[in-house]
Chain A
Amino acid sequence: MKDLSMHILDIVENSVKAGATQVVVDLNYHDDVLEMTIRDNGCGMDTETVKKVLDPYSTSRTTRKVGLGLPFLKMNAEQTGGAVQVESEPGRGTLVSATFVTTHIDCVPQGDIPATLALLITGHPDINFRIRIAKSTGSFEISSEEIKEVLDGVPVSHPRVNVFIRNMLKEEI
């Protein structure tokens, strides 16, 4: 993953695969630290699995393909002096939290976070996303549900809706 926004996309993909219907993405900017937390109500994992997923030499999948999801997130966070935390409960859901010291020389760029979040919302019309952005200057929160309520039957996955959400988030990030 060459930037932080790609990590968001990749972590949320795990939530999608876990059958989540609700995903909360929290982006907390304080001083030079970015804390991203992704919470889902998917199938969850037992303690044993949580331990294993952060270890690059294991996966619950039998064949390993490109990318290493969580271990890669962990490596990129830790090399800035940050950390990754995973909490999960079978049947309840999962929380993945990563902190990055964004001023650290080894921190990968943030990438296009507004475009990435817009793609998640419009790309998964069946999942209710809640996006929260907190900065020292204020905070912002929006959910798929609120957007769909306004759209009143116009598909959330229409290109124009995506461009709209992207531009709205750009103002807030």
Chain B
Amino acid sequence: MSNKVKSLQDLRKMRDELKGKINLREKSDNPDNLVQIKVSMATCGIASGARETMNYIIDDLDNQAIDAVVTQTGCMGYCYAEPTIEVTLPGEEPVIIGNVDTKKASEIIEKYIKNGELVDGIIPDTYKTIDNK
């Protein structure tokens, strides 16, 4: 059996597990009952480690079996504070946090995402969600 056919079969199995676990009220790439994380991935972000931050967040959430959607976005306009991420807890306003290295990312997951406790480094005065399109 080709690798790809096997991979897609494994993916199907994983889908069934996830379907049993997350409550998908709607078929959407961005279901609003899941934690949403956007990582700013413009040249300035990439150069300052945004890719490593994004990979770390994905691995940590996966290891802890936390359901979320993690996406990339363009320049958020905070080049001085890259890597920058935006976190939206279900039913809450988005929060933008700057200088998120892997250590900071871990803190954000433990405190804010798991317990709703605010962390240092929140960039104030932005209640608009950043869309790069």
Which A residues are closer than 8 A to B by beta carbons? 1, 6, 9-10, 13, 16-17, 19, 65-67, 69, 112, 115-116, 119-120, 122-126, 140-142, 146-147, 150-164, 168, 171-172
Closest Cβ neighbor of A140 among chain B residues: B4
Indicate if the CB atoms of B43 and A119 lie closer than 8 Å.
no
Listed A/B pairs (15) with beta-carbon separation below 8 Å: A65-B44, A119-B51, A122-B71, A123-B39, A123-B71, A123-B72, A126-B133, A140-B3, A151-B15, A157-B30, A157-B69, A158-B22, A158-B69, A159-B68, A160-B14
Q: Are A119 and B18 in contact (CB under 8 A)?
A: no
**Alpha-carbon separation in the docked complex, A124 to B62 (Å):** 19
- Is the Cβ of B58 less than 8 Å from the Cβ of A163? yes
Taking the complex as formed, is B8 at the interface, i.e. its CB lies under 8 A from any CB of chain A?
yes
Q: For the complex, give the distance between the alpha carbons of A46 and B19 in Å.
A: 46
Q: Is the CB–CB distance between A123 and B70 below 8 Å?
A: yes
B27 touches A153 (CB 8 A): yes
Q: Which residue of A lies closest to B65 (CB)?
A: A160
Please judge, given known A-B contacts A122-B70, A142-B4, whether A159 and B61 are in contact too, CB under 8 Å: yes
Q: Taking the complex as formed, is B28 at the interface, i.e. its CB lies under 8 A from any CB of chain A?
A: yes
A155 and B43 contact, CB distance less than 8 A:
no
> CA separation between A1 and B31, bound complex, in Å?
34
A146 to B12, CA, bound (A): 11
- Bound together, the chains give a CA A120 to CA B34 distance in angstroms of 20
In contact, B12 and A150 (Cβ under 8 angstroms) = yes
Point out the residues of chain A lying under 8 angstroms from B8, CB to CB: 146, 150
Chain B residues with Cβ below 8 Å from A159 are 57-59, 61-62, 66, 68, 70
- Residues of A with C-beta under 8 A to B4: 140-142
